[in-house]
């Protein structure tokens, strides 16, 4: 009976080791965003695709006007 518990513990330990390793590999493969990159305007919060957005100092805006308004309000 003692041996059975010992082998069961080893089996659980191996299973736990395999399980704990797998999510780490998956996390590395997961892309930060979906295929269609969606960003939101830092000023008004409207969602638009990354290609449509105006990139300004690592922030995205829906239009030039909002990028200027955001900079003026933050400084
Ligand atoms: Zn906007």
Query: 26: CA distance to ligand 1 center in Å?
Result: 35
| pLDDT value at 35 more than 80 | no
Distance, in Å, from the CA atom of 61 to the CA atom of 67, rounded to the nearest integer, reads 6
What tokens appear for 35 in the block? 């295929």
Query: 43: CA distance to ligand 1 center in Å?
Result: 5
Q: Which residue ranges make up each domain of the chain?
A: 1-30, 33-75
Distance, in Å, from the CA atom of 33 to the CA atom of 40, rounded to the nearest integer, reads 13
Q: What confidence category does residue 32 fall into, taking pLDDT thresholds of 50, 70 and 90? A: low
**Tens digits of residue pLDDT in 42-65:** 999 999 999 999 999 889 999 999
Query: 27: CA distance to ligand 1 center in Å?
Result: 32
Query: 35: CA distance to ligand 1 center in Å?
Result: 23
Cβ atoms within 10 Å, residue 49? 11
Give pLDDT, residue 2: 84
Query: 40: CA distance to ligand 1 center in Å?
Result: 8
What whole-number percentage of the chain has pLDDT above 70? 80
| pLDDT value at 34 more than 60 | no
Cβ atoms within 10 Å, residue 23? 9
């Amino acid at each position: 009976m003692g041996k059975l518990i010992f082998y069961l513990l080893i089996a659980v330990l191996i299973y736990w080791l395999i399980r704990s390793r797998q999510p780490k590999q998956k996390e590395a493969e997961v892309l930060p965003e979906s295929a269609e990159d969606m960003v939101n305007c830092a000023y008004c919060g409207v969602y638009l695709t990354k290609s449509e957005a105006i990139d300004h100092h690592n922030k995205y805006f829906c239009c030039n006007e909002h990028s200027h308004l955001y900079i003026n309000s933050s400084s």
